[in-house]
């Protein structure tokens, strides 16, 4: 059988000139096959991600009926509106506060889970990750019901302590708090899981060596745990910053931007203007303002992920 396979090659050996070109052909075949295998991916990314992304740059320069080029007119218009600056401020407050608390809670909970005997960890981890598993649109409905102005289960409970009733979604400050609370509830488990995985990858010998060197509990966290986890903390935080900054579901369902636009963030406001208000160019302009901060976070993530790849 092998002899048969070798037959054509005897001919090839007699013609050394042809042998290189057939090798090139073989190489070409491999890269052609590879290209074909990635082609659907390339088409998808080009047509449905890259093209719309650049198209939105074009859209942002049109007027409402999309028939006239207005240049930077949409941006000028936005800069003059107080609501826009309110949205910018709220997006930043929302994203930074939420990510900070998610990271902090995630870190603490991860340590508690890591502290208990390995046998029980699975069970706790399983329970604590539930908020991340439920579709946010569904769980936010439950929060909406918990925050209900007349039937709030929280206010019912708090009334026994003589507190409230609290206007969870009715008052601007409380509504911001509620939106952040729900986001922290939803996102903290992700941090917890990432930190837990990273905690488990710190070799025990390091802690034993630190303990022998006389490090106390706090010093061990500061000098062993945190440096070992630094990369994962950075990546997780940046990931979460992007997702939180671009969040739509929670604000949309919980407050729909209200009261009086005081909880709108970029995504919800862009939806209100672009889809509900049918001013697609202005909506596109609003969402474009997310690009700089997303790009910065993405660059840092890429750097860290590559660094991680090189270490491994």
Partner 1 sequence: MADVALRKVVKRYDDVEAVRGIDLDIADHEFIVLVGPSGCGKSTTLRMIAGLEDISDGDIMIGGDIVNDVPPKDRDIAMVFQNYALYPHMTVAENMSFGLRLKHYPKAEIKARVTEAARLLDITDLIDRKPKQLSGGQRQRVAMGRAIVRNPKVFLFDEPLSNLDAKLRVQMRIEIKKVHQKVRTTTVYVTHDQVEAMTLADRVVVMNKGRIEQIGTPNELYHKPATRFVAGFIGSPAMNFIPCRLEDVGGTLQIRLTDRIAFPLPPARAARYNSLPRTDKLLLGLRPEHLTESHAHLEPGVETFDTVLDVTEPMGMETLVYFGLEGTPVCGRVNPNAGAKDGAPMRLAMDLNNMHLLNEATGAVL
Partner 2 sequence: MSSVTIDKAAPTRTVKYGSMSRDRKWALRWSYFFLTLFAIFSLLPPIYMLITSLKSSAEISAATNPWWVFHPTLENYVGLLTSNQFLRFFWNSALVSIFVVTITMLISVPAAFALARMRFWGSATLATGVFLTYLIPDSLLFIPLFKVFALFGDWTGIQLINRWYVLLFIYPTLTVPFCTWIMIGYFASIPKELDEAAIIDGASWFQTLTRIFIPVALPGLIAATIFAFTVSWAQFLYPLVFTTSTDQLVLPVGIITTLIKGDVFNWGQIMTGALLGAAPPLIIYAFLMDYYIAGLTAGATKG
DSSP H helical ranges for 214-290: 217-220, 226-245, 249-254, 266-271, 280-288
SS3 270: helix
Residue 23: contacted member of partner 1, partner 2, none (CB under 5 to 8 Å, by partner type)? partner 1
Site for partner 2 in 62-101 (CB under 8 A): none
Residue 37: contacted member of partner 1, partner 2, none (CB under 5 to 8 Å, by partner type)? partner 2
The count of C-alpha atoms lying within 13 angstroms of the C-alpha of 256, restricted to the half-sphere facing its C-beta, is: 4
Position 266 contacts partner 2 (CB under 8 A): yes
Q: At CA 297, angle to CA 114 and CA 269, rounded to 5? A: 105
Write the DSSP symbol of residue 68: S
Stretch of 7-15, 17-25, 79-87, 183-191 contacting partner 2, by CB under 8 A? 183-191
Name which position in 79, 85, 151, 222 contacts partner 2 (CB under 8 A).
Answer: 151
Buried/exposed code over 280-301 (b: 16+ C-beta within 10 A; e: otherwise):
bbbbbbbbbbbeebeeebeeeb
Residue 13: contacted member of partner 1, partner 2, none (CB under 5 to 8 Å, by partner type)? partner 1
Position 50 contacts partner 1 (CB under 8 A): no
Residue 241: contacted member of partner 2, partner 1, none (CB under 5 to 8 Å, by partner type)? none
Name which position in 84, 95, 136, 263 contacts partner 2 (CB under 8 A).
Answer: 136
25 vs 308, beta carbon nearer partner 1: 25
Name which position in 88, 158, 210, 246 contacts partner 2 (CB under 8 A).
Answer: 246
Angle subtended by helix axes 82-115 and 226-245, to nearest 10: 140
**Least distance CB 78 / partner 2 (angstroms):** 14
189 vs 257, beta carbon nearer partner 2: 189
Counting Cβ atoms within 10 Å, is residue 148 exposed (0-12), middle (13-18) or buried (19+)? middle
Q: Chain centroid to CA 17: how far?
A: 55
Residue 26: contacted member of partner 1, partner 2, none (CB under 5 to 8 Å, by partner type)? partner 1
**CA gap 265, 92 in Å, rounded:** 9
Site for partner 1 in 6-25 (CB under 8 A): 6, 9-10, 12-13, 19, 22-23
**Least distance CB 37 / partner 1 (angstroms):** 19
Element holding 31 (H helix, E strand): helix 16-45
Position 291 contacts partner 1 (CB under 8 A): no
Please report, as ranges, the residues that interact with partner 1 according to CB under 8 A.
1-2, 5-6, 9-10, 12-13, 19, 22-23, 26-27
């Amino acid at each position: 059988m092998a002899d048969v396979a070798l037959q054509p090659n005897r001919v090839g050996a007699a013609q050394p000139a042809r042998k290189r070109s057939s090798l090139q052909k073989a190489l070409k075949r491999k890269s052609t096959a590879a290209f074909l295998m990635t082609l659907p991916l390339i088409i998808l990314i080009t047509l449905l991600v890259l093209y719309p992304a650049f198209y939105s740059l074009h859209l942002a320069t049109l007027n409402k009926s999309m028939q006239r080029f207005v240049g930077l007119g949409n941006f000028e218009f936005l800069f003059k509106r107080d609501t826009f600056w309110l949205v910018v401020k709220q997006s930043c407050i929302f994203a930074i506060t939420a990510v900070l608390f998610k990271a902090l809670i995630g870190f603490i909970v991860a340590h508690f889970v890591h502290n208990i005997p390995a046998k029980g960890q699975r069970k706790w981890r399983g329970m604590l990750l539930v908020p991340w598993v439920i579709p946010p649109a569904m769980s936010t409905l439950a929060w909406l019901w918990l925050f209900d102005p007349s039937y709030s289960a929280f206010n019912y409970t708090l009334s026994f302590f003589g507190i409230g009733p609290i206007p969870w979604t009715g008052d601007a400050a409380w509504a911001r708090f509620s939106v952040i609370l729900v986001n922290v509830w939803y996102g903290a488990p992700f941090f917890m899981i990432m930190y837990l995985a990273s905690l488990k990858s710190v070799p025990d010998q390091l802690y034993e060596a630190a303990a022998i060197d006389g490090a106390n509990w706090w010093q061990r966290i500061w000098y062993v745990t945190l440096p070992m986890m630094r990369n994962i903390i950075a990546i997780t935080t940046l990931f979460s910053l992007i997702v939180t900054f671009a969040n739509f579901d929670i604000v949309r369902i919980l407050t729909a931007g209200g009261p009086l636009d005081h909880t709108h963030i970029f995504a919800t406001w862009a939806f209100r203007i672009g889809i509900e208000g049918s001013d697609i160019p202005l909506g596109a302009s609003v969402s474009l303002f997310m690009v700089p901060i997303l790009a910065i976070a993405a660059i840092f993530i890429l750097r860290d992920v590559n660094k991680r790849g090189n270490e491994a």
